[in-house]
Structure formats: C-alpha cells, structure tokens
C-alpha cells in the first residue's frame, strides 16, 4: 500500500488514480493508495497498518499542528513528521519518498542530511512522471525484497 500525505490532493490525483488502476489490473495490493491531507490524520492509520504499508510519499509543505511545531519552530510540517517517524524504530523499514517543491538543499539547511536517513529518498516535484513512477516501483520492490 502507498500512503500519500499531501495537502493538495489535486497535485497528486493522476498518480493516485494510476496506482489504484494498476493495483486493480494486476491484483497487486502494493499499489493501492490511501491519501491523507495532514500527517496528524495519517498517524492513526500508519500505526494500525504499518505492516501493510510499502511506501509513504510525503510532501513537506504541510501544517502539522501547533504543539508539534513549537518543538521545532521553522520546520515544515512534513519535516516534523519525518523526524517523528524516523525516531520510532518500528517504522524504519517503511520507505519514505519526499516529493515536494522544497529543494534538497533547503531540507539539508534545516539539519536533515537525506543521504544519511535510513529509507528516505527525495524527488523534486518537477521531475518527470517517468522518473516518479520508476522511483516508486523501485522503492516498492525494495520493500518487498528486504522483507523476505
């Protein structure tokens, strides 16, 4: 299953539809999608279905609630979520694809070295559809092979 966390569903709706159609055509549950507008909405589902999730696709420019933001002022909500989910070892096996307009340089300037965070990958929002689909397939296949 693919979890999308993005507060602008219209920007990902074609991907969402593509993966759900692929899941139906191939009877492959890895491509089923679930969407959440905000990380706080996604947490309960992630906690209850962590073994079914093959990939989380995460936008960074999200609201995450005042309590969490006070802990790390100046961070986009997606980065706060990334920090929280990576701090909990039970979720380290779930790949996260950061798919956002925020540059990798800007992310690293906030103290996140993306090359050193386990199972976290980055694609800029302006990459080609082919590059996006290739990366998602690669990460879903990586999750399958690592769980065997």
Q: What is the pLDDT of residues 27-65, one digit of tens each?
A: 788 889 999 998 888 999 999 999 999 999 999 888 766
Q: If we measure between CA atoms, which residue out of 52, 47, 65, 54 comes closest to residue 7?
A: 65
Q: How many domains does the chain have?
A: 1
Q: Give the structural domain span for 20.
A: 2-143
Whether 56 maps to a domain, the answer reads yes
Phi, psi of 26, deg, nearest 5: -95, 0
Q: What is the pLDDT of residues 98-137, one digit of tens each?
A: 999 888 998 888 888 888 888 999 999 999 999 999 999 9
Contact 99, 123 (CB under 8 A): yes
β-strand pairing of 96-100 with 120-124: parallel
Instruction: Give the whole-angstrom CA distance, residue 133 versus residue 34.
Output: 17
Whether 148 maps to a domain, the answer reads no
Whether 74 maps to a domain, the answer reads yes
| Helix (H) or strand (E) run with residue 96 in it | strand 96-100
In this prediction the pTM is 0.87
Contact 3, 46 (CB under 8 A): yes
Q: If we measure between CA atoms, which residue out of 97, 101, 111 comes closest to residue 142?
A: 97
């Amino acid at each position: 299953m693919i979890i999308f966390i993005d507060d602008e569903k219209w920007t990902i709706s074609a991907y969402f539809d593509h993966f759900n159609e692929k899941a139906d055509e191939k009877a492959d549950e890895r491509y089923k999608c679930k969407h959440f507008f905000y990380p706080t909405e996604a947490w309960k589902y992630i906690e209850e279905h962590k073994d079914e999730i093959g990939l989380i696709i995460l936008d960074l420019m999200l609201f995450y609630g005042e309590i969490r933001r006070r802990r790390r002022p100046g961070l986009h909500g997606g980065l706060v979520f990334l920090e929280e989910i990576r701090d909990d070892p039970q979720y380290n096996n779930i790949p996260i694809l950061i798919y956002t307009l925020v540059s990798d340089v800007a992310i690293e300037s906030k103290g996140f070295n993306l090359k050193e965070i386990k199972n976290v990958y980055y694609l800029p929002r302006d990459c080609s559809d082919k590059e996006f689909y290739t990366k998602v397939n690669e990460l879903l296949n990586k999750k399958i092979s690592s769980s065997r």
